[in-house]
Structure 1
Amino acid sequence: MTQEIHGTVADGYEAVREEFAAFVADERPDYEGQLCAYVHGRQVVDLWSGDGARGDSLYGVFSTTKGAAHLVVALLVQDGTLELDRKVTYYWPEFGAEGKGAVTVRDLLAHRAGVVGLDAGFSRAELADDRLIAERLADQKPFWRPGTAFGYHALVIGALTGEIVRRATGRTTQDLFEERVRAPYGLDFHLGLPEALEPRYRSVQPLEPTPQQQAALDAAPTGRHSLTSIAFNTHVPDPGELVDHANSRAVRAKGPASAGGVAAARGIAGMYAAAISEVEGRPALLKPDTVAEVGQIHSVGHDLVARTHKAFGLGFQATAANWYPFLGAGSFGHSGAGGSQGFADPRSGLAYGYTRRRCSFPGGAALENERFVKAVHGVALAG
């Protein structure tokens, strides 16, 4: 049975709908996902498919949350409230324990601090609480000499940067995102999902790998006490499954800034559109100099945690360098473990958001994003 495609595209973007429909037709019959894009602040794509899905359905977006958290940091840098080259200890003195005293805000945002997790690990309840994560990490010895290498601070970066935000402003990242970004634009992107919106949440479903995918998973190198295991907190006795994090009401309620956000594709794309473009008469949130700063590559090469080649800007992933080389230089955003993706390409004016309910293989930005991004970007450039 062919899945129905819902939603609209602007004139000229019909090819994007066709690409989305072709993918959905080839996917497993229970596929559920959303695709949204803006160009120069105007929504041009708003599509979804799946039994029971709607355009305003909400999904756990895992690390796509980091883009929302670090948009707040970018705004505070732009305001002059935070300074990138100040030491973290200027704002948060306790962080300097165990040889971390020289780490700057810039180092931390670029995943160069070496504090990717705890030797003893976190409980599932602790991973919902940014304040507690930050408090425990202040005493953690870094896993490499800060500044000499980089590695993805997967479950903790939002808590670490969030503690700097709290010390500098007296406010949480979550509160500032609500006040300065989500509420003014009416975005369906939540760092802390209100109870009243719970009926719109669609529980994340685990990956059910094909035999070939399972073989790849089984062949992947493991090690309970490896740096990767520590960073993803799988070295603890009961780490739980990936989907347990997003499907926890405690996580959704608190919205931990590393991976606890809940969003629709409209909310992701709308956030990035607001970051770089005028939207509905409102000026762009970020000035051109700030856009250039956060999108500039700060860490590139072998990621000690991911064990592969990666590139990071300041709190954001370098989208063109990591996934889509046809995008403009300085593109910035963040993907999520379940397959979601969000980014801004300032040179073309493209802002993009994608969600899906079932986790994708091999994790991170779902592979179909390349098809969709290429389709919408091509039309945007031709326009």
Structure 2
Amino acid sequence: MTQEIHGTVADGYEPVREEFAAFVAAQRPDYEGQLCAYVHGRRVVDLWAGPDGADGGSLYGVYSSTKGAAHLVVALLVQDGTLELDRKVTYYWPEFAAEGKGALTLRDVLAQRAGLVGADGGFTPAELADDRAVAERLADQRPFWRPGTAFGYHALVIGALTGEIVRRATGRTLQELHEERVRAPYGLDFFLGLPGSQEPRFRPTQPMAPTAEQQAPLDALPSGPHSLASIAFNRQGAVPTDLETLPNDRLIRAQGPASFGGIASARGLAGLYAAAISEVDGKAPLLKPDTVAESGQFHSVGYDLVARSHRSYGLGFQATADTWHPFLGAGSIGHSGAAGSQAFADPASGLAYGYTRRRFAFPGGAAPENDRLARAVHRAALAG
């Protein structure tokens, strides 16, 4: 039985609804997901599908899409002059100098060049939920490559690194600043630390269901327990991290680790990026055009030592047009999440996009359907 598509689209965006409906019709009967988009600060797409209990306000674990929220806060602090991209990290955090890391700058960390993708022996579940505990371990950690000479995805730790710099510079946690400067003022359903009062809206992540011919992404990681990928995804310790269940842990949801612990709806994802680049509800964009341009400027491009493939990064954001969607404008900023979520802003078209799904997508990262859905929204935005 084909699921009903709920929600609304603005005039001219009917093809987006048709594309979403065609995708949902081809999925398992229990598919559950949301799609939202803004163009120049106006919500033009707000769609969802799923069984009873799911709606446009349901909340999901968005994994590394969290990094977009975290690094919007960093961009705001750089814009304010509170942080300086080319200052050494040790200016803010003296203990970070251990093991030859003294020359690294904030720019290096944001561009995935620090070489601190994990810790020897791995992190315990309690440590992984606590950004300050992760930062303390990484301050003493020897980098896995000579800092600045290469780059690799700091999957579970980059938010802890940048968060500690933020805390040292401001006396506030990154999560507190996200709440005060971004989430609350715009009423966004994008939490870095989910309050207990919002727990009934959370929909636990469901494990992926690969076919017999497919292989789950964690099984596909290099088999060596000490490979960079295993270290980056905390698979080498006594309690290997299970990505598929991370947001289902109340401790993760409550503390909101800035690398992967965000809980959001598609409305929250798209709304965050709309607020970043556009006037929304009479409020000026959070980021000035020059800040957006520098955040989206290519900083690390080429072979990612962790992903073992071509990747492109700006300053804490993925270079979305190069990594995922080449039809987007140069300078697009965003981030995807392991279970399939994706969110981005394309300043050239004024598009802000958000997508979430409940079941962990195969093979992990931005779910494949994002390409067709984002393309449909972008096409409608350009035609409008």
The TM-score bracket by the shorter chain reads over 0.9
Q: Which residue of 2 aligns with 1:41?
A: 41
Report the counterpart of residue 244 of structure 2 in structure 1. Answer: 243
Structure 1 position 103 matched with structure 2 position 104:
yes
Alignment match, 2:31: 31
CA distance in 2, matches of 1:285, 1:354: 21
Secondary structure in 2 aligned to 1:372?
helix
- How far apart are the structure 1 equivalents of 2:108 and 2:220? 34
Q: Say whether the 8 Å CA contact 2:216–2:362 is kept in structure 1.
A: no
AA in 1 matched with 2:91: Y
Q: When the two structures are superposed, what TM-score results if normalisation uses the length of structure 1?
A: 0.99
Shift of 1:117: 0.4
2:346 aligned residue: 345
Question: How many Å apart are 1:221 and its aligned residue?
Answer: 3.5
Partner of 1:300: 301
- Whole-Å Cα distance in 2 between the matches of residues 308 and 22 of structure 1? 31
Q: Any stretches of 5+ residues in structure 1 without a counterpart?
A: none
- Matched with 2:75 is 74
> Does the 8 A contact of 2:7 with 2:47 survive in 1?
yes
Aligned pairs for 1:280-299 (under 5 A) are 280-299=281-300
Deviation at 1:219, TM superposition (A): 6.1
AA aligned opposite 2:182: V
2:6 corresponds to 1:15: no
- Give the C-alpha shift of residue 236 in structure 1: 1.3
- Look up the SS of the partner of 2:45 in the other structure: strand
TM-superposition CA deviations, 1:139-185 (whole Å, max 9, x none)? 00000001000000000000000000000000000000000000000
CA deviation after TM superposition for structure 1 residue 19, in Å? 0.2
Residue aligning to 1:174: 175
Deviations 1:315-341 (CA, angstroms, capped at 9, x unpaired)? 000000001101000001000000000
User: What corresponds to 2:140 in structure 1?
Assistant: 139
* Cα offset, 1:218, TM superposition: 5.7
How far is the alpha carbon of 1:138 from its aligned partner?
Answer: 0.2
Code of the residue aligned with 2:36 in structure 1: it is C
Residue 172 of structure 2 aligns with an amino acid whose one-letter code is R
- Residues 184 and 301 of structure 1, relative CA distance in 2, 3 Å threshold: same
Q: Alpha-carbon deviations, 1:270-320, whole Å to 9, x = none? A: 000000000000000000000000000100100001111100000000000
Task: Note the residue ranges of structure 2 that are not aligned, 5 or more in a row.
Answer: none
Matches within 5 A, 1:190-201: 190-201=191-202
- Contact 2:210-2:216 at 8 Å conserved across structures: no
Q: Is the 8 A contact 2:221 2:229 kept in 1?
A: no
Superposed, 1:220-369 pairs within 5 Å as 221-369=222-370
Query: Alignment partner of 1:46: what SS?
Result: strand
The residue number in structure 2 matching 1:50 is 50
Deviation at 1:217, TM superposition (A): 7.2
Q: Distance in 2 between matches of 1:218 and 1:173?
A: 33
Give the residue type in structure 1 aligned to 2:27.
E
Determine the C-alpha separation between the residues in 2 that align with 1:202 and 1:284: 31
Structure 2 residue 78 is matched with structure 1 residue 88: no
Name the CA distance, whole Å, in 2 between partners of 1:234 and 1:124.
Answer: 12
Measure, in 1, the Cα distance between the counterparts of 2:363 and 2:187: 33
- Superposed displacement of residue 214, structure 1: 2.7
Question: 2:206: which partner in 1?
Answer: 205
Aligned residues: 383
Distance, in Å, in 2 between the alignment partners of 1:308 and 1:215 is 18
SS in 1 for 2:125: coil
Using the alignment, how far apart are the partners of 1:123 and 1:206 within structure 2?
Answer: 22
CA distance in 2, matches of 1:215, 1:94: 38
Output the TM-score relative to the length of structure 2: 0.98
Which residue is equivalent to 2:185?
184
CA 1:218–1:79 in structure 2 vs 1: closer, same or farther (change >3 Å)?
Answer: closer
SS state at 2:215 partner = helix
The separation in 2 between residues aligned to 1:283 and 1:115, in whole angstroms, is: 36
Q: Would you say 1:2 and 2:8 are equivalent positions?
A: no
Partner Cα distance (2:15, 2:146) in 1: 49
Q: What is the rounded CA distance, in whole Å, between the counterparts of 1:219 and 1:309 in structure 2?
A: 17
Taking the aligned partners of 2:251 and 2:219, their CA distance within structure 1 comes to 31
Q: Which residue number in structure 1 is paired with residue 165 of structure 2? A: 164
Secondary structure of 1:355 counterpart: strand
Contact 2:127 2:133 (C-alpha < 8 Å) held by counterparts: yes
CA deviation profile, 1:238-281 (whole Å, cap 9, x unmatched): 21421221100000000000000000000000000000000000
Indicate the RMSD between aligned Cα atoms, in angstroms.
1.1
Q: Residues 233, 27 of structure 1: CA spacing in aligned structure 2 closer, same or farther, 3 A cutoff? A: same
Q: Which amino acid aligns with 2:66?
A: T
Q: Deviations over 1:38-81 (max 9, x none)?
A: 00000000000000211000000000000000000000000000
- Runs of 4+ in structure 1 off by over 3 angstroms are 215-221
